[in-house]
Amino acid sequence: MKAMYLFALIFYACAALMARSDDAYPKPEWRDAPDPLASPHAEPGGMIRFAAFQPPKSLNAYIDNNTYTRQVFGMMYETLLGVDSSTTEFVPHLAKRWTISDDKLVYTFELDEAAVWSDGQPVTAEDVKWTFDQVMDPRHATGASKVMLGVFDSPQIVGPRMIRFRAKESHWRNLSALGLFEILPRHAFEGQDFNRLDLDRPVVSGPYVLSAVKEQIEIRLRRRRDWWAGSKPSLRNTMNFDTIVFRYFSSNENAFEAFKKGLVDVYAVYTARIWANETIGEKFDKNWIVKRRVKNHNPIGFQGFAMNMRRPPFDDLRVRKAMAHLVDRETMIRTMMFGAYFLHRSYFEDLYDATHPCANEAFPFDIARAKALLREAGYAANPQTGILEKRGKPLAFRFLTRDGGTDKFLALCSAAFREVGVSMTIERKDFASWMRDMDAFNFDMTWAAWGGALFRDPESMWLSSEADRPSGNNITGFKDPQVDALIERQKTLFSITARNAIYRDIDGRVAAAVPYVLLWNTEATRLLHWDTFGMPDTVLSKYGDERSLLGYWWYDPDTASELRAAMAAGDVLPQRPVFVDFDTVFAPPGGARPPP
């Protein structure tokens, strides 16, 4: 009788779902098709050792807002929806179907019955609800994720594999927020402190599982041969490496030296000097090491000197503007980076083109203008020390750094600062200590770099209420009621064109407030790799950086054998193309896949 009653409940719940007038996805014409970026020649096996930085303070990416933590976490834990590699449309993953109510407030997901954890337990609606509730628990340091999920009530379990979310407000971001947060196994983690989850022997749903950790040195992932989604057409010929090693280094230079010694297989070049001057010698000249410069549609982020606007001296706009005029970016690019970068002028660089030119102030190097701004701010030189003072307090600040590679840039800045009477003290810490200080807003200035995003969303970085959230992205403490109003207005705009117009307005206001001394960027990904791998002609995915190669490359035993023979004999290998333009080499077989 109980079984019949339970069946009736599930039947009527499902019937009610199907009877709604909601939009249902995927659309009937959608079919799961092979990924056009995945090579049919790819074979599983082998190992890749990847140079990484910022060793994680936790493998729980909800707690550790770190690029490489997110990479490892995302290979072990999966999301309700996937993203098509070519169209960026949402596609089924843990959820095989979903519906959206007409008012865009109710989202219902039906989980795929094939989705199971690595211990054989099914992925259930209980897992989804438990993960959501843990992320939103105020006791847990999940700041950035709280922004995305905070617009939803705790979800309702409709059935064992069906869950419903209700949003408190309509927002274009709602589907991506729900579809793209990683689901954790309740049965494996319930009862643990979420801030200190033990992921050393995790139960996972994704293609990889943690196999070994050497703290501060490396993390090893092992490919799961029983991954529930491995036979999906769209995932064939992806996730090919049996073993992925993330080897951590304290600096780019250390990583490069390890790469040349063969201790690392792939090295992404973020130092222009290395690319221009140090990719020489037998290993490079004989093409044992391959150079790649890949231009694709990877969203452009930004980097700069972040200033803590919560306290003096950077709570004064005139001081921040003066700092921007005292950083000689043009000279740095010309003399230290071989002219390989463009100057940042915006926090959303790829929003601008000939039709929409960027009108933000450029802040050229100008010591006279900086002095004038500091006089306007009330600073005058102490005749004994030459240091600028205001009401007896010197204009001094602490630059918090975690990388010795910044020294040459800071030396040039320091000379300009001294010339106008500004005292800068450089305080170097390891990454973990740097993160603790950043989480507590215990800094004056630091170097911060942010990646771009396919779905731009200014809320976590520029909303005023985020300025006081520990472990969040608004590290400068930026607050502006007009920007808050613009962020509020874009929430209900489902047109990307309309949202981009608002983002340009936001960008203009943020740039005028100078929370960062914006620096520079590049439009291509530079890679070095030992010639032991097979890969698609595009080298990287359409929208990804160097990390996307982990999903598409494979270990090629024949190529590796040829490399060993060439090195033993001192022979030259055929040269691979250095410059790869995605749009030139990509030709999807049979045209693009239909949207879901």
Q: Which pLDDT score, from 0 to 100, does residue 571 have?
A: 98
476 found inside a domain:
yes
Quick one: pLDDT band at residue 331, thresholds 50, 70, 90? very high
Q: Are residues 180 and 101 in the same domain?
A: yes
The answer to whether residues 461 and 369 belong to one domain is: yes
Q: How confident is the model at residue 136 (pLDDT cuts 50, 70, 90)?
A: very high
Residue range of the domain that includes 388: 302-521
Assess contact for 228 and 222: CB atoms under 8 A: no
Q: Are residues 335 and 470 in the same domain?
A: yes
Question: What pLDDT does residue 350 have?
Answer: 86
**φ and ψ at 553, to 5 degrees?**
-75, 165
Q: Are residues 415 and 431 in the same domain?
A: yes
209 located within any domain = no
Residues 316, 431 share a domain? yes
pLDDT of res. 57: 80
Q: Pick from 131, 226, 137: which is nearest to 183 by CA?
A: 131
**Cα distance between residue 427 and residue 446, in whole Å:** 10
Tell me the average pLDDT across 380-398.
95
The tokens 């109510």 sit on which residue?
Answer: 101
**3-state DSSP: the chain helix, strand, coil percent, rounded to 5?**
35, 20, 45
pLDDT for the residue 590:
52
- Same domain? For 261 and 145 the reply is no
Q: Looking at the structure, do residues 286 and 423 belong to the same domain, yes or no? A: no
pLDDT, tens only, 184-211: 999 999 999 998 877 677 899 999 999 9
Burial 386-404 (b: 16+ CB within 10 A, else e): ebbbbeeebbebbbbbbbe
Q: Are residues 470 and 538 in the same domain?
A: no
Whether 408 shows a pLDDT value over 60: the answer reads yes
Q: Is the pLDDT of residue 21 over 70?
A: no
Higher pLDDT, 495 or 254: 254
User: Which one, of 138, 160, 159, 162, lies nearest residue 149 by Cα?
Assistant: 138
Query: Per DSSP, what are the bridge partners of residue 289?
Result: 530
- Domains in the chain: how many in total? 3
pLDDT band for 497, please (50, 70, 90 cuts).
Answer: confident
264 and 401 belong to one structural domain: no
> What is the band of 492 on the pLDDT scale with cuts at 50, 70, 90?
confident
Section 152-175 average pLDDT: 96
Residue 321 corresponds to which amino acid? K
**Residue recorded with tokens 């009401």:** 391
Token output for 271? 């130092």
Q: What is the DSSP letter of 233?
A: G
Across the chain, mean pLDDT equals 91
586 in any annotated domain: yes
Specify whether 294 is located in the same domain as 316. Answer: no
Which one, of 233, 223, 211, lies nearest residue 45 by Cα?
223
Do 529 and 510 lie in one domain? The reply is no
Please give the residue that has the higher pLDDT: either 138 or 590: 138
Q: What is the predicted pLDDT for the residue at 589?
A: 57
